Amino acid sequence: MGKLFTIHEETERYIKIQKTIQEVDILVELSADYNSELKPDTGIDILDHFIWTFSWGLNMSIGCKADIGKYRSEHTIAEDLGITLGAGLKKFFYRKIVSEGINICGSSLFGLDEALVRAMVNFEGRRNCFVTIADECTGGKTEMVEDTQAANFIAFFEGFSQGFPATIHIDLLQGRDPHHTWESSFMALGEALRAAYATNPWKIARNNPFYAEEGTADASII
């Protein structure tokens, strides 16, 4: 069986990772340093905008490219982008949890105009993603958000939780405008991940009473 991912380049502050299947070829670059040359290019305009938003919340530069196979599936683009991005970010988190210790868990409450979204992430090896939409959040219930289906954003979050891996909760609390509502979800997740990545020597991997020196339930390295 071939490898799911190919790592083209990796340093302590940068990774270039690729996932190739028949449907889509995803290339992702992640940098802990600000790099204006790294930009999202998925072929879905609003998803590109939201990945940039996610990058801003995470405080990491993200570049990505999606090359489509015979069939164009925006669901597959979003999901496999999430998987690949999560797998790349996992390398950053795993390295730091072993060398310094990190918070592991993080949460965020983010608002953009009338929209309000809560996100929580727990980097402990389980692959779970739960997205809820409050009754009053009408902006989270539309089928389309500009040039793609709202369901594709959920596919991205679910894919990310698989590749990372982590338990993720995203709760769309308020919002009338679909753009504001879903953009807030990407920013909230980025902010929650930034909090989880913050240095915490108490939680260095070797101190973990549950998973010993590997630090998480899923310590496999790509």
How far is CA 30 from each of CA 40, 89, 216, rounded to the nearest angstrom? 11, 7, 22
Confidence of residue 99 (pLDDT cuts 50, 70, 90): very high
Regarding pTM above 0.75, the answer is yes
pLDDT(114) > 80: yes
113 pLDDT higher than 60: yes
pLDDT digits (tens, 9 = 90+) for 21-50: 888 999 999 999 999 999 999 999 999 999
- The residue-averaged pLDDT of 73-83 equals 97
Question: What does each C-alpha distance from 95 to 12, 124, 144, 187, 204 come to in angstroms?
Answer: 8, 14, 38, 24, 10
Any domain includes 29: yes
- On whether residue 189 sits in a domain, the answer given is yes
Residue 2 has pLDDT above 70, yes or no: no
Range of the domain at 101: 5-214
The pLDDT-based confidence of 222 (bands split at 50, 70, 90) is: low
Locate 44 and state its tokens: 């879905």
Distance CA 138, CA 175 (A): 6
Q: What is the mean pLDDT of residues 156-177?
A: 97
Ramachandran region, residue 146 (left: φ > 0; alpha: ψ -120 to 50; beta: rest): left
pLDDT at 173 over 90: yes
CA dihedral of residues 109, 62, 5, 22 (deg, nearest 10): 100
pLDDT band at 220 (very low <50, low <70, confident <90, very high): low
The torsion angle over the Cα atoms of residues 5, 124, 154 and 90, rounded to 10 degrees, is -30
Burial class (CB in 10 A: 0-12, 13-18, 19+), 120: buried
Contact between 9 and 15 under an 8 Å Cβ cutoff? The reply is yes
Average pLDDT, the chain: 94
What local confidence, expressed as pLDDT, does residue 1 receive?
41
Considering the domain boundaries, does residue 194 fall inside one? yes
pLDDT of residue 149 exceeding 50, the answer is yes
> Among 100, 88, 105, 115, which residue's Cα sits nearest to residue 187?
115
Q: Which range, of 44-53, 65-74, 129-138, 162-171, averages the lowest pLDDT? A: 65-74
In a domain, residue 221? The reply is no
The CATH number of the domain where 144 resides is what? Answer: 3.30.230.40
Q: Hunting for tokens 């389980």 — which residue is that?
A: 126
Asked whether residue 80 is assigned to any structural domain, the reply reads: yes
Domains: count for the chain: 1
Indicate whether 109 belongs to any domain: yes
Confidence tier at 176 by pLDDT (50, 70, 90): very high
Neighbour tally for 11: CB within 10 Å? 9
Is 200 inside a domain boundary? Answer: yes
